[in-house]
């Protein structure tokens, strides 16, 4: 029965995977932030990650796992996971998304490259915002009128 449910997730004509990937999208999570209680975005993210994690939690065929990984790559799941984890989750809620990121990066070299690139971009952005020249520009442009 479990495998039957899982097969619905990866069927080519099924929209389940696409719908789940939309649950991790920037647009939806930002709308949930604006229009809901503060815990709803993290609940949606955690539940969605649990569904994505399911194929890695049980014994499945190699074909099923390959198809799951292919769909994760097609729908940019790793990028979405990294973004929602960094922007919408408190440290006590990151276990499931980070576990899924670890599973995807274990199986896919492209996921490891994506993680590395996103981390490097984040470091570069932080460096530019934390540079003395940025502080000086920010201070000069936003001095108090007092």
Among 13, 19, 4, 95, smallest CA distance to 58 is for 4
- What does the pLDDT average to over 19-43? 85
103-127 confidence digits (pLDDT tens): 888 888 877 887 788 777 765 545 5
- What does the pLDDT average to over 64-89? 88
Cβ contacts of 49 within 8 Å, gap of 6 or more: 24, 81, 96, 97, 99, 100
Q: What is the percentage of the chain residues whose pLDDT exceeds 90?
A: 14
Least confident of 59-68, 77-86, 123-132, 133-142: 133-142
Please state, in angstroms and rounded to a whole number, the distance separating the CA atoms of residues 129 and 127.
6
Quick one: pLDDT at residue 142? 42
Q: Say what the pTM is.
A: 0.72
Q: Give the pair of three-digit tokens for residue 69.
A: 């990984």
- The structure tokens 């389940």 sit at 16
Quick one: pLDDT at residue 132? 52
- The structure tokens 């955690």 sit at 46
């Amino acid at each position: 029965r479990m495998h039957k449910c899982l097969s619905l997730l990866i069927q080519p004509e099924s929209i389940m995977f696409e719908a789940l990937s939309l649950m991790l999208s920037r647009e939806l999570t930002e709308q949930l932030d604006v229009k809901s209680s503060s815990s709803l975005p993290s609940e949606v993210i955690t539940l969605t990650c649990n569904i994505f994690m399911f194929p890695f939690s049980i014994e499945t065929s190699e074909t099923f796992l390959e198809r799951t990984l292919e769909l994760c790559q097609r729908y940019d799941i790793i990028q979405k996971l990294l973004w929602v984890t960094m922007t919408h989750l408190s440290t006590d809620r990151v276990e499931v998304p980070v576990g899924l990121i670890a599973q995807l990066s274990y199986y896919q070299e492209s996921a490891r490259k994506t993680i590395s690139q996103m981390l490097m971009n984040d470091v570069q952005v932080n460096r530019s915002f934390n540079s003395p020249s940025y502080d000086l520009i920010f201070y000069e442009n936003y001095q108090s009128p007092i």
